[in-house]
Amino acid sequence: MAEQQSLENQVASYDKDAIITLSPREHIRLRPGMYIGKLGDGTQSDDGIYVLIKEIVDNSIDEFIMGAGKRIEITIEGDKVTVRDYGRGIPLEALADAVSKMNTGGKYGGDAFKKTVGLNGVGVKAVNMLSSHFLARSVRNGEARTVTFSKGLELTDRRESGVAEANGTYVEFVVDTEVFGSYSYNLEFVEQMVKNYTYLNLGLTVVLNGKPYLSKNGLLDLVNDNLSSEPLYAPVHISGEDVEVVITHGNGYGETYYSFVNGQYTPQGGTHQAAFREAIAKTIKEFYHKDYEPADIRTSIIAAISVRVDDPVFESQTKTKLGSRDKEEGVTMRQFVGDFLATNLDNYLHKHPDAAQALQRKIVENEKERKAISGVQKKAREAAKKVSLNNKKLRDCKVHYTDKHELAEQTMIFITEGNSASGSITSSRDPRTQAVFSLRGKPLNCYGLTKRVVYENEEFNLLQAALNIEEDMENLRYNKVIIATDADVDGMHIRLLLTSFFLQFFPDVIRKGHLYILQTPLFRVRNKKETHYCYTDEERVAAIKKCGAQAEITRFKGLGEISAAEFKEFIGDGMRLDRVRLTKDDPIGDLLAFYMGKNTPDRKDFIVDNLRVEEDIVENLKMLD
């Protein structure tokens, strides 16, 4: 009885006082992730500060779509962002409500907006409530109104008459560090966002910090700008009412898609991309009158698709994946995309026999390679299934990226080397969302090898099985694939070998932003009162100054030396991750050939020629002496 009473005393009180009602402003500031995906510090392209920019620009894009305003000006100076469009301007009487009251907007019906993406009346309000400074100004036919807010609370409201400015809307904001912490903008990410807007909206000019961007050929420009090598045939560019498509093939593995809905980039695809993948295979099989495997048709494809639909339904407020199954009433997305390709792609291939022949050669080549490894593939699958029953290499998590679960976006897998490092991470991880895959020594250098090696090499086969990406990237089980190795020469080499593996066989893991490098501390500096984990020599010197003469300095030679308790500091909210990025300016073939090829003398000369000692490190060492 005493034990039961003790347990009851430990349970937190749950009565009417525990039920709290938040205002929309309070809810956005307390749970910003529900509205903008995640916070972040600006080092990743999907960090919240870029979503806030997009929410404002989306409204200006909607004006352009409705035929009002062909120019948008974006300026980023330090922490202040400004966006000016030349559309119709927000109706002056409704300006304050339109930027501050949730579920208020002009996109809930009627003819003012069609086929737009800002349908929920949330975006600009979220920006307002997450900004320490927010200003909105609307100009309409010589009349103007300006309102200012701080953290969603109105400060001023001013009206003017007889202004000489062009019609349109001006917004400026400063993201609130109380919510986001320290952050900075990476203009490369904003530039890519701007380019995507221009690819999807011919005739629109977007000016970023004084530099104009515009596209003459739409999605064709997007594909050409992102090709890292010559395609096997000139990109097929076809368009119709509410749809535009570009298709070509390269020499690599995997499938690369750029998909858009109503001008909104959908990096996670959705029903339109799924319909496109299915229709591509069906149309090409019918054109050649061959029962080709869909995988043989789509391997190495590089394609883009844009559709416009009424009232699109996205799977989250950040609109990265389309959920709508219908294009419009009575027409499914599958029918719409399928019928378009069945007519237009078929016509194109009949009119361009050179492209048709090049495409068929690639399909046959893919088919031959698949059949050549089919026996090995079957055995590898069986082995992977057997091992998965008692897989000591994989310590899995409970939630996966493919699950419809609120934690799906937080799922990750650490690929590490050695039992000690794997053990430490496993002991300190969150088993709900964090998995661990343990390598046995250095993996194989796969440069120049065919995909057969993925099935013949046990490490690669089991890693592929753990990620579940053999047949389709859509099945990827973890949002983040994290290479976690020692911060020494061997660890760096393993990073290169694993990165080469993904570049060679599964480049979409990188293109879609799933591959990361875990940064772990090199030093621990502490005294009796404080502990500092240092990732650079500069941080070490600064920590020594803070700890004074009593500083105890530990150099971590490997992950295995870091205790499980300490690992919680590095794989939790404060985890330092570097995303592996792949752009059109990265010559994949040349990079792999030089760094991973059989040209050891050239690499040795390169290292010798570029070896240098950082002057600041030398000065730091002198200070310590």
**Alpha-carbon span 517 to 539, nearest angstrom:** 20
Neighbouring C-beta atoms of residue 423, cutoff 10 Å: 17
Kindly state the helix (H) or strand (E) to which residue 335 belongs, with its residue range.
Answer: helix 333-351
Concatenating the DSSP letter of every residue in 160-199 gives EES--PPSEEEEEEEE-HHHH-S----HHHHHHHHHHHHH
Using DSSP's 3-state secondary structure scheme, residue 216 falls into coil
Token readout for 550 is: 């009593």
CB 559 within 8 A of CB 485: yes
**Alpha-carbon span 593 to 477, nearest angstrom:** 30
Going from the C-alpha of 104 to that of each of 28, 123, 534, the distances in angstroms are 15, 10, 48
Q: Look at residue 171 in the predicted model and tell me its pLDDT.
A: 96
pLDDT in tens, 224-242: 988 877 899 999 999 888 8
Q: Look at residue 121 in the predicted model and tell me its pLDDT.
A: 44
Token readout for 77 is: 């100076």
In order of their start, the domains of the chain are 26-213 (3.30.565.10), 219-372 (3.30.230.10), 374-520+558-586 (3.40.50.670), 521-555 (no CATH)
Token readout for 452 is: 């057969």
- By DSSP bridging, strand 480-484 and strand 434-439 are unpaired
Beta strands in 241-278 (DSSP E): 243-249, 256-261, 264-265
Q: Look at residue 586 in the predicted model and tell me its pLDDT.
A: 60
Q: Look at residue 7 in the predicted model and tell me its pLDDT.
A: 43
**Alpha-carbon span 335 to 275, nearest angstrom:** 8
**537-547 helix and 615-624 helix, angle to the nearest 10 degrees:** 20
Going from the C-alpha of 300 to that of each of 227, 248, 365, 376, 410, the distances in angstroms are 12, 9, 11, 22, 29
Q: Look at residue 612 in the predicted model and tell me its pLDDT.
A: 59
End-to-end CA distance of the chain: 66
Q: What angle do CA 414, 417, 422 make, to 5 degrees?
A: 60
Q: Look at residue 120 in the predicted model and tell me its pLDDT.
A: 41
pLDDT in tens, 303-345: 999 988 877 776 665 556 777 676 766 678 888 889 999 999 9
**Alpha-carbon span 249 to 377, nearest angstrom:** 24
Q: Rg (Cα) of the chain, in Å, rounded?
A: 27
**Alpha-carbon span 491 to 215, nearest angstrom:** 43
**271-288 helix and 333-351 helix, angle to the nearest 10 degrees:** 40
For 578, counting Cβ atoms within 10 Å of its Cβ (0-12 exposed, 13-18 middle, 19+ buried), the class is: middle
In total, the chain counts a number of residues equal to 625
Please tell me whether the overall predicted TM-score, pTM, comes out greater than 0.95 for this model: no
Q: Look at residue 418 in the predicted model and tell me its pLDDT.
A: 75
Q: Which residues of the chain have pLDDT under 50?
A: 1-4, 6-8, 106-113, 118-121, 389-390, 614, 617-618, 621, 624-625
